[in-house]
Structure 1
Amino acid sequence: MLSAPTNLGLRPPQRGSVPGAAKAPEALREAGLFSRLAWLGARDGGVILPGRYVDDDDTRAPGRVRNQDPLIDHTRRLAGRIEDAWSSGSTPLVIGGDCSVLLAAGVASARRGRIGLIHVDGHTDFRHPGNSAECASVAGEDLAAAVGLHWPAIADIDGLAPYFEPVRTSHLGHRDDDEHAAEARALLGYVVSASELASGGLAAATSAALEVAGTSYWVQIDVDVLDPSVMPAVDSPDPGGIDAAQLTELISVLAPRAAGISITVFDPDLDPDGSYARLLVDILARGLSAAGSRS
């Protein structure tokens, strides 16, 4: 269990403010996640601290993302810790923070010969300079960067692009109105929406995603794949997501063969009584009970 309390890839919720996702690892610890996973045999691998978040919208040069330098530094250091876990024979579970942590998983993967990717998210996160003039927040662009479509500073750290091969990458869970879904379908190995998952297609989707990913893969789970009626404590809650039982089942199928897993974008600032943290802990503890058991 690696704590990655970064919010560097998110836009500020208000001018001059700081996103709350960096508090997620400790909020989930308080809600019992680390103790429940430790009971299942997991080990606390410590924390990888990010640099300071700065709302740099007024000073950032064109062609750069928010907090670019500290984000790249955090990516490299987290990638090193992921590699250390692999070297020790462990399956790393990264508790974010925002989903820019996917870059670290990608860098670590590319250094060791590349693995597949299963990206579970309420958005495709496929915004990139080739389809948008609004690129700035890696947390909305992480999947595009992971398959080599972003500015080189983000998508080609240490000359390792693409971190994941598009043909071995699956995405599950976007909303039907996602503006970049068609492009993702055209470029990635497999793409399926949340509505298709929720309407009974979960078993077929997981089977297809596993086939595309191959024998070794990373699983990235952004909790905004859940419908906001279930999990509103996220940066971008959009209707049309899956429910808690479906996410639990999805994780339980994907986790056993996963080489690593990241959990991202829960925002404790939007969960004042801790009830959504406790719900998320229950989903994760149940779904991750066999994580890495067949990797």
Structure 2
Amino acid sequence: MPVDLITAPWNLGLRPPRPGRHEPGTWRAPQTLRAAGLDTRLRPARVVELDRPPYAFDPQPATRIRNGVTLREHTLRLADAVHATLAEAGRFPVVLGGDCSILLGCLLGARRGGRCGLVHVDGHSDFRHPGNYDAGAALGSAAGMDLALATGRGELLLTHWPQVGRPLVADEDVVQVGDREDEEVPPVTRFTAQEIQRIGIAELGERVARRLAERGLERVWLHVDLDVLDERVLPAVDTPGRPGLDYGRLARLVETLLGTGRVIGLDVSVYDPELDPDGTHAARIADCLATALAPVTAAGSAA
């Protein structure tokens, strides 16, 4: 299946990285990865470049989520692009972020075509919601809430959507892979970073595939937050940590999941080029993604 590359250059879901009015640098990731050779390797049939939304340092009206109003607007735009790729063009969308709040637009676009499961590959569970923190005391950041929002927990602004309603995905249709947290565990199928170290990538891939089959999921979205990589491999993310995957294991995992024939698209998030001034990590990320997506791009070329 040919690939469409969709760029979502935003940082709306992240806190400022330091005191003062300095924006997170994740909005630069799509162009940086493309300049590192990702376009050449993926050979997309089309590139859809979405606008960079403005980042608000101050609270927005009627929401306790940072950039919540802007995030809803751009989520709808991203959903349109993903839906067009899937339904109109019949191609495989690869969405380059940006922070991981882009997941909402990806899932919304996919859900317009019917039920869709989620494999959430992330070094964190991203399950912060008003039930486990004081929303009145601090602004929520959607990049740490994307799984909670996708499963219908949180403000209606970012949980209830035209045509689809809420949630974007049922708890039972989610597989969480790679988090290393001891905080509230989301009620989904979960494989922690520590468990992955024990069972290995081959067994992990088999167990995830088995769960998708058990749920009867013919359509699944794949979310890849690059902070699932060990910080010794990729420190250029907003919240690095360990243990985590290396590039080879991540590529094998993605390739295995694509091999199930159930994954209809994927997004990649949270790489920050400002933390990678010489571009070393950009080249490695581009190579990892191109390797993982080779079966899809090869099939598209053959077609």
TM-score by length of 2: 0.89
Matches within 5 A, 1:42-121: 42-56=44-58, 59-60=59-60, 63-87=63-87, 88-121=89-122
Amino acid at match of 2:127: F
How many residues get paired?
Answer: 283
Alignment of 1:157-236 (within 5 A): 157-158=161-162, 160-175=165-180, 177-180=181-184, 182=185, 184=186, 187-188=187-188, 190-213=189-212, 214-236=217-239
Post-superposition offset of 1:97? 0.6
Q: CA deviation at 1:245?
A: 1.4
Determine helix, strand or coil for the equivalent of 2:27: helix
RMSD between aligned alpha carbons? Answer: 1.8
For 2:254 and 2:126, the matched residues in 1 are separated by 20
Deviations 1:76-115 (A, max 9, x none): 0010010100121101110111111110122123322221
CA 1:290–1:8 in structure 2 vs 1: closer, same or farther (change >3 Å)?
same
Q: Supply the AA of the counterpart residue of 2:277.
A: P
Aligned AA (2:155): W
Which letter does structure 2 place at the counterpart of 1:211?
R
2:8 to 4, 11, 15: 4
Q: Does 1:266 align with 2:266?
A: no
How far does residue 62 in structure 1 lie from its aligned partner after superposition?
A: 7.3
- C-alpha distance in 1 between matches for 2:60 and 2:83: 32
The 1-side partners of 2:127 and 2:268 are apart by: 18
Amino acid at match of 2:178: G
Distance 1:52 1:24 in 2: 16
CA contact (8 A) 2:7 2:97 kept: yes
How far residue 212 of structure 1 moved from its aligned partner, in angstroms, is 3.0
Q: What does the per-residue CA deviation read over 1:172-207, in whole Å, with 9 as the maximum and x for residues that have no partner?
A: 0001x3312x3x1xx21x101112112333223222
2:155 pairs with 1:151: yes
> What amino acid sits opposite 2:27 in the alignment?
A
Q: Which runs of 5+ in 2 are unaligned?
A: none
User: Cα offset for 1:288?
Assistant: 1.0
1:43 CA drift (Å): 2.1
2:123 & 2:202 partners in 1: Cα distance? Answer: 18
Instruction: Please state whether the residue corresponding to 1:31 is helix, strand or coil.
Output: helix
- Provide Cα deviations, 1:219-255, integer angstroms capped at 9, x if missing partner: 0000000001000000100121111211111111112
Instruction: Say which structure, 1 or 2, has more relative contact order (CA 8 Å, 6+ apart).
Output: 2
In structure 2, what is the Cα distance between the partners aligned to 1:44 and 1:232? Answer: 31
Aligned to 1:13: 17
Deviation at 1:290, TM superposition (A): 1.6
Segment drifting more, 164-173 vs 131-140? 131-140
Specify the SS of the correspondent of 1:170: strand
Question: In 2, are the aligned partners of 1:121 and 1:171 still within 8 Å (CA)?
Answer: yes
- Confirm or deny that 1:138 pairs with 2:142: yes
For residue 7 of structure 1, report the CA deviation from its aligned partner: 0.6
Partner residue of 1:240? 243
Q: CA deviation at 1:135?
A: 5.4
Cα distance in 1 for residues equivalent to 2:177 and 2:296: 19
8 Å contact kept, 1:127–1:135: no
Q: Residues of 1 paired with 2:258 and 2:29: CA distance?
A: 21
Which residue of structure 2 aligns with residue 22 of structure 1? 27
What secondary structure, in the 3-state scheme, does the structure 1 residue paired with 2:119 have? strand
> Which letter does structure 1 place at the counterpart of 2:84?
D
Judged with a 3 Å threshold, the aligned counterparts in structure 2 of structure 1 residues 29 and 36 are, in CA distance, closer, same or farther, namely same
Q: Residue 151 of structure 1: CA displacement?
A: 1.3
